[in-house]
Chain A
Amino acid sequence: MQIRKASRKMTVSLLLAALAGGLLAGCGGNKDNAASSTQGASSPNSGKQVKLRVATSFAGSDPWVSAWTDAVQSFQAANPNIAIVDESTPVNQEALRTKVKADAATGNLADVLFYFNGSETKILQETNEIVSWEDELAKDPEWASTFNAAILDKVKYEDKQYSLPYIGFYEGLFWNKELFDKHQLEAPTTFEAFMKAVDTLAANDIIPIATSLTTPYIQEALVLSQVGPEGQKLAYDPSWAPALNLIKELSDRNAFPRDALTLDDDKAQALFSGGKAAMMFNGSWTAVGLSSNPAIQITPFPLVPGGKGENMIVSGFGSGWYMKKNDDQAQYDAALSFVKYMTSPDVAGKFAAVGGTYAVKTTDTGTTAPLLTAGNEMVAQAKDFVMPIDSFVSRESYTDFLKGLGYLAYGKKTAEEVLAQAKKLSDRNQG
């Protein structure tokens, strides 16, 4: 009887162990399979199947989605042994940041990433899992020569080239010339003209500035114009207060949509592109959709009274290509050839036709819209550039800062209170 009892206990224990083992094997199975499927391959074209995980921001409503999809398809056609697992995730709601950070924390980074630079590079570098590109650039001088050396230098982190810059962005004041002409207004190139336009348009039932007060763009422009590039680096410094007070003044003058506190950026853009609003301060990624309307013009944000940031713009290479270290040579080579393909002048040219400025040579497709050309000229003529505020402050402090601006616009908090609260959160987490 004792033996039967023991054997039954054993049976139950074994079954439970098998079940638990099965579950755990299920969780880890993908990695094992991926590893075994790539072992033995020596090059991207060796015929052995390689599964390449790529995580980029080219997803959702991103304007480069079609250029990206075409590029991935043509790469796969040329390299039938490499299967691309596209893990691209939209940047909205911090979905991409959350995915990549969770991947980094769990040792599950994709083989190739197109991801943010700046404070985000630090997070990837700390995993000790990403390649520093110096060796590969040295091995292939022809490929290296396609990159703008000065821009490569700008995105270095602790003197290391973890990120290969690709698409650059700029922020500018888009304005509808047709609406300005209709109300006999001057171009908003000076602050006086800008404020006169705000008052006149508001009085004529046209929204002066299409913006959501939950997005960062207009305040980025005001802060840079007020304190200049040096002052902008002093995160949440009290010297920013006059710039923030202008948000309150603009709000009081009915410069923003009536529901600016709950409006999202897509709907704000729709107000501008639909002719309900006359101005919009936003990024180069919106220029693509606006470029079909010849009345849309672009200019840097005008200098505010007493400001230090004349003809200076928020611009830069906020994202770049990262590659994971890999002991499996075939996997490594496949990832490298993918990045080289994406940064080749032909592929970059197709991305450039959609918009943005580029850190690599691009083949001109001859389809660049006049607004995009005007945007590039604005960048070329700018006196200085800065990266956006959120590239060098902690996420928590920045989201709190943005929320605080809503309170400020409706007189519930002062600029000093908003800045002090953000500074407190920033000091607590120097992320």
Chain B
Amino acid sequence: MNFKDKRYIVLFLSPTVILLFAFLLYPLIQSVYYSFTDWYNFSNKKTFIGLDNYRQLVQDPVVGIALRNTLILIVGAIVLQAGGGLALALLTASVKRGFKFFRTVYFFPIVISGTAIGLMFSIIYNYDYGLLNAIMRALGLPEQVWLTEHSSIYLVLIPILWQYVGFYFVIFLTGISKIPEDIYESAQLDGITGIQKAFKITIPLLRDVIASCLTLATAGALKVFDVVYIVTKGGPMNSSELLSTYMYDKAFNGQNAGYASTIVIAMMLLGILITVLLNKAVKKDTISY
């Protein structure tokens, strides 16, 4: 590479580098510093307290609940979001008619904001005016308190899964469309069935796409905030708390930005750890056809 090329590389990369530094890296470095401070009310007064916030983090029972819920969300995202997207894509790919209709219907929830979806589901789960209890009444069954200590995390999982399943569906559908038709044709000559086609040809050849989707689903699950906050605010009794909702609660409702920064660092480390592990687990030779 000659010098002239390098000059342009620097020139064209610099806006992104500057923006990334200003709005991502610099705040991140600051957050690491804040996580070692006593910082309340977003004031200018910050007191260095060493590892006290980290000690509190380890002893905080709500952090334990949030970690458990985050893991439930990750498993749900991998199995039901990415898995559901794959299942829908496999089913739709073989559909002769209405392909565009299904693609639009499954993809549609993505364009609705998380806040709107959250509001919709909070009304669905409402005890007195909610849709679910209206159905129960219509069926002559007793009304239920839907969002309880034991059910809340699973019930907030439903809108999150519903919202993003279409995203993975479209990715898998694009992946399937790249698989050469002649592979299927030759298999058909050998008498392959529909299910065998999916498990012996399509899924193995989609391995790269599946690996990417698993990483995306995991990273997406770590970032979930809006729907959970709107539907339950992390309650009842912190039972649906995620690290993100707990961090928000501490930072903005509790105005304790020092401890909230510690939760942010924990979230970041957890995200890096899970992504690295996942990448190692799914890393194999790339498939070419």
| Chain A residues packing against B (C-beta within 8 Å) | 5, 8, 11-12, 15-16, 19-20, 23, 93-95, 97-98, 101-102, 104-105, 123, 126, 207, 214, 257-259, 261-263, 267, 270-271, 276, 394-396, 399-400, 403, 406-407, 410, 412, 429, 431
Contact yes or no, A214 B235, CB < 8 A: yes
A396 CA to B22 CA, complexed, in Å: 30
Which A residues are in CB contact (< 8 Å) with B1? none
Contact of A395 among B125, B127, B255 (CB under 8 A): B255
| Chain B residues packing against A (C-beta within 8 Å) | 3, 7, 10-11, 14-15, 18-19, 22, 38, 40-44, 125-129, 143, 145-147, 149, 152, 231-233, 235-238, 249-250, 252-256
Which B residues are in CB contact (< 8 Å) with A399? 249, 253-254
A214 CA to B10 CA, complexed, in Å: 53
Contact yes or no, B44 A105, CB < 8 A: yes
Known: A396-B250, A399-B249. A101 touches B43 (CB 8 A): yes
Contact yes or no, A8 B7, CB < 8 A: yes
Contact of B127 among A23, A102, A257 (CB under 8 A): A257
Residue in A closest to B147 when the chains form the complex, CB atoms: A262
Residue in B closest to A402 when the chains form the complex, CB atoms: B253
**What are 22 residue pairs bridging A and B, where the CB atoms are less than 8 Å apart in the complex?**
A8-B7, A19-B15, A104-B43, A214-B235, A258-B143, A259-B146, A261-B235, A261-B237, A262-B147, A262-B235, A262-B236, A267-B126, A394-B255, A395-B256, A396-B254, A399-B249, A403-B237, A406-B235, A406-B236, A407-B237, A429-B38, A429-B40
Contact of B11 among A12, A102, A400, A429 (CB under 8 A): A12
Contact yes or no, A410 B10, CB < 8 A: no
Contact yes or no, B237 A412, CB < 8 A: yes
**New contact pairs (12) apart from A12-B7, A123-B41, A431-B40, CB-CB < 8 Å:** A19-B15, A94-B252, A98-B42, A126-B43, A258-B127, A261-B237, A262-B236, A263-B126, A267-B126, A395-B41, A399-B249, A406-B235
- A63 CB to closest chain B CB (Å) equals 21
Residue in A closest to B14 when the chains form the complex, CB atoms: A16
Contact of A261 among B38, B41, B236 (CB under 8 A): B236
Residue in A closest to B152 when the chains form the complex, CB atoms: A262
Known: A97-B255, A412-B237. A257 touches B147 (CB 8 A): no
Residue in B closest to A429 when the chains form the complex, CB atoms: B40
Contact yes or no, B254 A395, CB < 8 A: yes
Contact yes or no, B238 A403, CB < 8 A: yes
A67 CA to B89 CA, complexed, in Å: 54
